């Protein structure tokens, strides 16, 4: 056991001494901050849009719409009467960036609610959302007036709905709203993916270093290959936990100071999409449990890959299948965010190779029965034991082997060898 | 004191395709320098790895220090210098030494002064906080050698001990090995260079193709395997040497290289007759000496054509179930 401790100590100390560890420690919060702040900044920076309302109505609807839009902070609007060639010249104006877009309204607008918007950018949810909101309000009011309702009454009936959504978990309302849940799930998915990949590959390069420098022969004359592997995985794992601690503390500091950061505060509605989530203790536990599970599972596979390769290039090729497993899990996260309760999501959170990313994402995104977490953790644990058993047998033979990379048949033989 | 430090009993290791070591038995007595000799691919490394329990033998047993337990169980009493040298390139010299000592069961606190002491002895004190890859190759070899003896092992095992060493380090290694023996330690090393073995070994075991050809003390082996030998050095003119050496009445075998020749006399051969014939034929001699056969000569006689057809390195292949 003392020998395993020596290996753990070496892996930890040597890694923490390296410059890249501290570069990562410093860049981590900056990067994660950027993940939140950039989208918010980009949406927050929705500049005032110059819009022309092409009025083809026979009533005053077009003119009133232009005035109403112009009164919105997001828009500067002007009215043009529809005429031959108007649309074409406006298209040219959009091209030359003289205006951002134009609306085409006719009497159909009030009759059926159909309005056309043509612009250089139609993907901004904030712009489109505001346009829809304003137009539908105007159309509704006009239709009510047409039915003889008093305009003052219509004005008085107007109310802005503020949808206050809160996640329900364990029969209680949590402090998280929909946007926070979404960003928490998104955030956890990204950090899990990156950390498992980064530290898994760390284990692989450590194995490869000992093999290529030949020092492994001295090592395994002193301790069993499994002890060596165990010390290595625990040592690198400890580095990752240490890195998380640094990130956690510094991110917390940054968040507590975010009002003072440029663009950090006062973004109003635009900032609502990405909000700094509240991380509950249970969420932190789920996150850590699945990180450790995923790290153990993947680092065992990465160690096997390292042991069967004899140089960096070979390892880079041989790691592809393992990396692909992880990438697939990561990509499927986006499907899961849409519907955390779908059959696909549930399956992914049960399959051990995708569970380390899928389960925490589901946990953060929506309420989850505890028994599902228990089953998934159970499957993951059994898989870790199985994968580690196979990987350590490949490792045991691989580290002492030189020459060409083994094929599948040889690998099977290694695993079977007593 | 046990009767033997290493006792290997009919150990066998097969790799896919061939048998690397075939029912090899050897006994290393305490306090000697023991040479495991053989051509490349004879199975020396595999034998050493089995002794150290890096590989488990397919059959046969290895007993160390007269006690139960594998090489790994006894690793605290064994120092191992593998054929292929290497250290962690990015670690500091002192840290590497402390780490490897820890793996041998020495705690860091007591390893530290010893490591510093050895570094000073090897002239590496100024380099202790430098990274391994900043050291020259020769310095790295010294560091690795320190790492194999820092924990004061009772048994030092060196695979191809002198290969890749510069002359200075080679001398340092030889001196240290002799000093260790003087302190009662046992040294087992393999080499295919007979001149080195002859200079330092008490005991040798010659193997080829995984099988033992001969073992025993160097003196015994020379007695049993040597005939009467003559060493000849020419000083310019060789006279009619080639014809005289081919005369099977006196010379059974001649090993000629340039100005030097090692002759094995025939059973009825007379060295004086050979000398007379050489001088008469006009050869100028700077040396004519009755001698024991060199280990190299015995080795070549024993190994014969095997040496030329040494099989591929066994560790390039894959272990079989």
Half-sphere exposure of B120 (CA within 13 A, CB side): 6
Q: Give tens-digit pLDDT for B248-289.
A: 888 888 888 888 888 888 877 888 888 888 888 888 898 888
Ramachandran region of residue A358, left (φ > 0), alpha (ψ -120 to 50) or beta? alpha
Give the per-residue pLDDT at B311. Answer: 43
Whether the predicted pLDDT of B308 surpasses 50:
no
Q: Packing angle between helix A61-70 and helix A125-146, nearest 10 degrees?
A: 140
The residues of chain A that CATH labels 3.40.190.10 are: 47-157
ipTM exceeding 0.90? no
Query: Per-residue DSSP letters for B235-291?
Result: -S--TTHHHHHT-TTTEEEEEEETTEEEEEE-TT--HHHHHHHHHHTT--EEEEEEE
Q: Is the dihedral of CA B105, A227, A307, B93 positive or negative?
A: negative
Which residues in chain A are closer than 8 Å to B75, comparing Cβ atoms? 221-223
Q: Residue B310's pLDDT band (boundaries 50, 70, 90)?
A: very low
Distances (CA, A) of B245 to B240, B283, B292: 9, 13, 18
- Chain B, residues 154-183, CB within 8 A of chain A, namely none
Q: Give tens-digit pLDDT for A207-231.
A: 999 999 889 999 999 999 999 999 9
Domain ranges of chain B: 1-65+154-226+295-321, 227-291
Compute the nearest-CA separation of B52 from chain A (Å). 6
Q: Are strands A101-106 and B186-191 parallel, antiparallel or unpaired?
A: unpaired
B75, A406: Cβ pair inside 8 Å?
no
Q: Give the separation between CA B317 and CA A214, rounded to whole angstroms.
A: 16
Which residues in chain A are closer than 8 Å to B6, comparing Cβ atoms? none
Q: Give the separation between CA B107 and CA B150, rounded to whole angstroms.
A: 12
Whether the predicted pLDDT of A264 surpasses 60:
no
Compute the nearest-CA separation of B80 from chain A (Å). 7
Compute the nearest-CA separation of B285 from chain A (Å). 50
Which residues in chain A are closer than 8 Å to B99, comparing Cβ atoms? 6, 10
B130: DSSP letter? S
Residue of B17, B52, B86, B188 to mutate when probing chain A, most A C-beta within 10 A:
B86
SS3 content of chain A, % helix, strand, coil (to 5): 70, 5, 25
Give the per-residue pLDDT at A166. Answer: 63
Whether the predicted pLDDT of A174 surpasses 70:
no
Which residues in chain A are closer than 8 Å to B49, comparing Cβ atoms? 217
Task: Look at residue A415 and give its three-state secondary structure.
Answer: helix
Nearest CA in chain A to B132: A213
A417, B320: Cβ pair inside 8 Å?
yes
Which residues in chain B are closer than 8 Å to A400, comparing Cβ atoms? 54-55, 315
CB-based contact A218:B100 (threshold 8 Å)? yes
B75, A221: Cβ pair inside 8 Å?
yes
Q: Give the separation between CA A158 and CA A175, rounded to whole angstroms.
A: 30
Q: Residue B112's pLDDT band (boundaries 50, 70, 90)?
A: very high
Give the per-residue pLDDT at B185. Answer: 94
Task: Look at residue A169 and give its three-state secondary structure.
Answer: strand
Compute the nearest-CA separation of A212 from chain B (Å). 8
Nearest CA in chain B to A9: B99
Q: For the domain A47-157, what is the CATH code? A: 3.40.190.10
Angle B8-B9-B15 from CA coordinates, rounded to 5°: 85
Q: Give the separation between CA B103 and CA B258, rounded to whole angstroms.
A: 51
Which CATH architecture is the domain B227-291 placed in? 2-Layer Sandwich (3.30)
Q: Give tens-digit pLDDT for A352-383.
A: 999 999 898 888 877 678 888 999 999 999 99
Neighbours of A329 (CB within 10 A): 25
The residues facing B229 across adjacent strands are B264, B291
Nearest CA in chain B to A400: B315
Q: Does domain B1-65+154-226+295-321 have CATH number 3.40.50.300?
A: yes
Compute the nearest-CA separation of B126 from chain A (Å). 21
Task: Look at residue A80 and give its three-state secondary structure.
Answer: strand
Nearest CA in chain A to B104: A222
Give the per-residue pLDDT at A267. Answer: 41
């Amino acid at each position: 056991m003392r020998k395993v401790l020596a290996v753990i100590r070496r892996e930890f100390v040597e890694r923490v001494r390296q410059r890249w560890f501290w570069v990562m420690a410093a860049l981590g919060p900056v990067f994660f901050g950027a993940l939140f702040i950039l989208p918010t900044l980009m949406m927050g920076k929705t500049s005032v849009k110059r819009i022309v309302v092409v009025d083809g109505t026979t009533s005053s609807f077009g003119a009133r719409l232009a005035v109403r839009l112009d009164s919105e902070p997001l828009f500067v609007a002007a009215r043009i009467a529809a005429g031959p060639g108007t649309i074409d010249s406006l298209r040219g104006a959009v091209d030359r960036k003289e205006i951002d877009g134009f609306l085409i309204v006719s009497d159909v607008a009030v009759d059926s609610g159909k309005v056309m918007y043509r612009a250089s950018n139609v993907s901004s949810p904030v712009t489109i959302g505001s346009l829809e909101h304003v137009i539908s309000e105007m159309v509704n009011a006009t239709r009510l007036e047409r039915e003889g309702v008093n305009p003052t009454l219509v004005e008085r009936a107007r109310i802005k709905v503020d949808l206050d959504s809160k996640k329900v978990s364990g029969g209680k309302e949590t402090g998280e709203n929909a946007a926070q849940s979404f960003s928490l799930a998104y955030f956890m998915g990204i950090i899990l993916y990156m950390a498992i990949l980064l530290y898994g590959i760390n284990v692989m390069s450590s194995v490869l270093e000992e093999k290529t420098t030949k020092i492994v022969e001295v090592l395994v004359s002193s301790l069993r290959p499994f002890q060596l592997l165990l010390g290595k995985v625990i040592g690198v794992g400890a580095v990752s936990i240490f890195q998380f601690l640094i990130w956690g503390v510094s991110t917390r500091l940054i968040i507590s100071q975010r009002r003072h950061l440029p663009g950090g505060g006062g973004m109003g509605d635009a900032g609502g999409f990405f909000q700094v989530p509240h991380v509950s203790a249970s969420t932190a536990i789920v996150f850590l449990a699945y990180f450790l599970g995923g790290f153990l599972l993947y680092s065992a596979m990465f160690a096997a890959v390292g042991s069967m390769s004899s140089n960096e290039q070979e390892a880079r090729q041989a790691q592809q299948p393992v990396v692909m497993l992880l990438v697939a899990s990561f990509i499927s996260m986006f499907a899961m965010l849409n519907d955390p309760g779908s059959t696909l999501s549930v399956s992914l959170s049960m399959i051990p190779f995708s569970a380390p990313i899928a389960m925490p994402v589901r946990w953060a995104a929506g309420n989850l029965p505890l028994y599902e977490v228990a089953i998934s953790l159970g499957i993951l644990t059994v898989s870790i034991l199985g994968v580690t058993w196979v990987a350590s047998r490949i490792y045991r033979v691989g580290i002492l082997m030189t020459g060409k990379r083994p094929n599948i048949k040889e690998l099977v033989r290694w695993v079977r060898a007593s | 004191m046990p009767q033997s430090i290493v006792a290997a009993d009919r150990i066998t290791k097969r790799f896919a395709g061939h048998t690397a070591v075939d029912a090899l038995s050897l006994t290393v007595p305490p306090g000697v320098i023991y040479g495991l000799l053989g051509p490349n691919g004879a199975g020396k490394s595999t034998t050493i790895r089995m002794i150290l329990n890096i590989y488990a033998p397919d059959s046969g047993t290895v007993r160390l220090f007269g006690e139960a337990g594998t090489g790994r169980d006894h690793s605290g009493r064994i120092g191992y210098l593998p054929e292929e040298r290497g250290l962690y390139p990015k670690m500091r010299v002192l840290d590497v030494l402390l780490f490897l000592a820890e793996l041998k069961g020495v705690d860091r606190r007591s390893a530290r002064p010893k490591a510093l002491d050895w570094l000073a002895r090897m002239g590496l004190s100024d380099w202790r906080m430098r990274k391994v890859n900043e050291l020259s190759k020769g310095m790295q070899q010294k560091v690795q050698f320190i790492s194999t003896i820092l924990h004061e092992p009772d048994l030092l095992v060196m695979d191809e001990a002198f290969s890749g060493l510069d002359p200075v380090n080679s001398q340092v290694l030889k001196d240290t090995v002799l000093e260790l023996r003087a302190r009662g330690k046992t040294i087992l090393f393999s080499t295919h260079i007979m001149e080195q073995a002859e200079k330092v070994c008490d005991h040798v075991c010659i193997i080829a193709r995984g099988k033992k050809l001969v073992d025993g003390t160097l003196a015994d082996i020379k007695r049993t395997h040597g005939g009467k030998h003559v060493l000849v050095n020419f000083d310019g003119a060789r006279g009619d040497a080639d014809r005289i050496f081919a005369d099977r009445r006196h010379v059974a075998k001649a090993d000629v290289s340039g100005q030097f020749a090692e002759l094995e006399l025939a059973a009825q051969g007379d060295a004086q007759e050979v000398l007379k014939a050489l001088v008469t034929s006009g050869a100028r001699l700077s040396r004519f000496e009755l001698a024991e056969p060199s280990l190299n000569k015995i080795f070549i006689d024993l190994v014969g054509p095997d040496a030329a057809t040494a099989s591929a390195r066994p560790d390039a292949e894959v272990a079989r179930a």
